[in-house]
């Protein structure tokens, strides 16, 4: 469902906004995976 991906993200404490921030950081080379 449309919520499945959100549940998967929140399992790791990742909100949609944080996901966007991580995506942006990855593009600039400052992303480090926890």
Each domain of the chain, given as residue ranges in start order, spans: 1-27
Report the alpha-carbon distance of residue 30 to residue 25 in Å, rounded: 5
The predicted pLDDT at position 14 comes to 64
Report the alpha-carbon distance of residue 18 to residue 1 in Å, rounded: 21
What's the whole-model pTM score?
0.31
For residue range 1-34, what is the model confidence (pLDDT) as tens digits? 777 877 777 776 666 677 777 777 767 765 454 4
Burial class (CB within 10 angstroms; exposed 0-12, middle 13-18, buried 19+) of 13: exposed
The predicted pLDDT at position 13 comes to 64
Q: Cβ(9)–Cβ(16) under 8 Å?
A: yes
The predicted pLDDT at position 16 comes to 66
The predicted pLDDT at position 6 comes to 73
The predicted pLDDT at position 34 comes to 46
């Amino acid at each position: 469902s449309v919520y499945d991906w959100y549940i998967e993200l929140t399992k790791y404490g990742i909100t949609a906004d944080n996901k966007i921030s991580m995506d942006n950081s990855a593009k600039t080379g400052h992303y480090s995976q926890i």
